[in-house]
Structure 1
Amino acid sequence: MDYRQLGDSDLQISAITFGAWAVGGWMWGGTERKDAINAIKASYDLGVTSIDTAPVYGQGDSEEIVGEAIKGIPRDKVQILTKYGMRWDLTKGDFGFKSQDNAGNPIDVYKYSGKESIIKECEDSLKRLGTDYIDLYQMHWPDKTTPIEESMEAILRLIEQGKIRQAGVSNYTAEQMQRAEKVVKLASNQVPFSMLNQSIDETLVPYCLENSKGILAYSPMERGLLTGKIKPDHQFAEGDHRTNYRFFKRENIIQADNLLDKLKPLANEKNASLSQLVIRWTIEQPGITAALVGARNEEQAIQNAKAINVTLSDDELAFIDQHLQELELV
């Protein structure tokens, strides 16, 4: 495994990081707890020491699963990345969207990052994770009802108390990062990035490179679309959010499928799966510190971790990029 410094912080993370959204079940059609725990353990055994989660993933389920999976591992050998600022248990802040919990009960999700709310969320996360500190604590989404400065003051207090090591954000613009940094030093920004979605290249990547900030790429597999297993007639389980997600429009699935057909010979030449090729391409991109990759079971986790063994030359990266430029997604 490759380990990379997150920005100019003292935090080292694995270039392939375990993304624990799906194991929480929420918006993914449920979860099998035992399979999820085994997936995280299998990843760790292959050098994936960093795990990214959030309270809202399964309304606490994902964090509890992560906490259970890392029991017995020396705490300084694993990096826990979690978040704050998405509340489903109060009606305050910036309304996000309506959803359902894993039991099918309706919930309203709010983006809220008030000072006292952050302090409470941190305490709740520490309990669920079974730890006394969080390595990277990230604002999940910007909250337009709370000044960024107020939120970051809470984070500064938590750093001073030793409850978090580093401050991060997620889904922030470069301008929002600049504003946050007037209060607390940021290590990173977690943003969507994949072969099909490279919009951060325009402003965010240059900013992070210039200011020594890490970038954590989430959804590098575009929520499973780039595995090659999803075809235009794919039927999703009830509660799976991908049914209405842009990249899963029939036209885009067809285009992604055609792209993967063109990349398959290169993957075969590398004795790698398409997923492994995609993961390796992602962590080779300028500014990207790590790719957050989810797995629902042990076998998926092992295959993801082994993507680190794939090597891509400059010519091969250029070959991939040439085909990406031909995409015309709707």
Structure 2
Amino acid sequence: METLDLNGNGVVASRIGLGTWAIGGWMWGGTDEAESIRTIQSAPDHGITLIDTAPVYGFGRSEEIVGKAVKQGGLRDKVALATKCALEWDAKERVARNATKNRILKEADDSLRRLGTDYIDLLQIHWPDPNVDMYETASAMATLREQGKIRAVGVSNFTPAQLDAFSEVTTIDVVQNPYNLFERQIDEDVLPWAQAHDTRLLAYGALCRGLLSGRMHADREFPGDDLRNNDPKFQQPRFDQYLAAVNELEQFAQDNYGKHVLDLAIRWVLDQYPHSVALWGARTPKQLEAVDNVWGWHLDEAARNQVKEIVDRHVVDPVGPEFMAPPARDA
């Protein structure tokens, strides 16, 4: 397993992190706690030492499951816990942004309790809040770092202008954004910012909600509240375009590396930027087995350009991850 430090603050993370949105159940058709705990506890067996969660993933459920798994498995000294803040929800599970100081400080304490720990390795602002001055948001995070409740500060889904404003108050150790073969928007803005500031990148959606897993087919149905029912990529005629790209990428991976499209997708994220971490969502231990196929090989620039050509040739009507953005609070 390749590792990196989260910007010189003593937090060392594996370059593949376990993403636990699905483990929370919300927008993923429910959860199996026992199976989720086994999944989390098996992650270090594959070299995964970063676990990424958030309060809104199941409205506390994901954090609670992560906390149980870490405690029962005696893993606290073996893993880095990353979580988020600055979203709120009501009794009807309606989510909105709230990056006020009071909300951030309260969420941090709630997360510490759910996770069963006295410090969080990485706390991230989940989404920027247009109704709150950036100074207030960043100052709250600086306070938590000074108090020793968090070791590193991150932000998620920020623009370069927002990153600049936040950085005037406190250092950003990590940026987290959607990044995968099909969602490359940050190549034009956030990734250059991270490179210029030597900032770490956590790439979420590295497999694009399973689209790059190699297991999707045109008649796949998604139960209940699964977010893919609202993802334009999974609606026709776009779905066929993305599946055609996946099929050719699978052949490319096999012909050139003896690998699969899933392996290729993760390796691409890691080779795009040496300070990146790819978040790998899993709900069963078996879904982590393929992690072992990512190490010991690389995609050079020529290969990455060829991969991009394959995607762009098939996906003639691309769409980004904008559908996932939660609204601002009502004024």
TM-score, normalised with respect to structure 2: 0.90
1:312 aligns with 2:313: no
Deviation, 1:313, is: 4.1
- 1:122-173 CA distance string (max 9 Å, x none): 1110011011000110000011111111111111111111100011100001
Deviation, 1:287, is: 6.0
Amino acid at match of 1:256: Y
With 38-47 and 299-308 compared, the bigger mean Cα shift is at 299-308
2:282 is matched with 295
1:30 is matched with 30
With 6-15 and 105-114 compared, the bigger mean Cα shift is at 6-15
2:60 is matched with 60
2:181 is matched with 195
Contact in 1 for aligned 2:36/2:65 (Cα 8 Å): yes
Structure 2 counterparts to residues 95-174 of structure 1, below 5 A: 106-174=92-160
2:233 is matched with 247
Deviation, 1:43, is: 1.6
Amino acid at match of 1:85: A
Deviation, 1:240, is: 0.7
Amino acid at match of 2:115: L
Output the CA distance in 2 between the equivalents of 1:74 and 1:317: 36
Q: Secondary structure at the match of 1:142?
A: coil
2:259 is matched with 272
Output the CA distance in 2 between the equivalents of 1:267 and 1:83: 34
With 260-269 and 77-86 compared, the bigger mean Cα shift is at 260-269
Contact in 2 for aligned 1:40/1:301 (Cα 8 Å): no
2:81 is matched with 80
Task: State the identity as a percent.
Answer: 38
Output the CA distance in 1 between the equivalents of 2:279 and 2:222: 22
- 1:66-108 CA distance string (max 9 Å, x none): 111212435332101100011114xxxxxxxxxxxxxxx7322
1:19 is matched with 19
Query: Does the C-alpha gap of structure 1 residues 206 and 8 become closer, same or farther in structure 2, counting only changes over 3 Å?
Result: farther
Deviation, 1:211, is: 1.0
Q: Secondary structure at the match of 2:265?
A: helix
Deviation, 1:309, is: 4.4
1:47 is matched with 47
Unmatched 5+ stretches in structure 2? 319-331
2:322 is matched with none
TM-score, normalised with respect to structure 1: 0.90
Output the CA distance in 2 between the equivalents of 1:329 and 1:41: 40
Contact in 1 for aligned 2:271/2:298 (Cα 8 Å): no
Contact in 1 for aligned 2:4/2:275 (Cα 8 Å): no
Deviation, 1:41, is: 1.6
Deviation, 1:253, is: 1.7
2:324 is matched with none
Q: How many residues align?
A: 315
Q: CA RMSD in A?
A: 1.7
Contact in 2 for aligned 1:8/1:213 (Cα 8 Å): no
1:97 is matched with none
1:323 is matched with 310
- 1:271-322 CA distance string (max 9 Å, x none): 4332122111111113651111100101002223542345434443332122
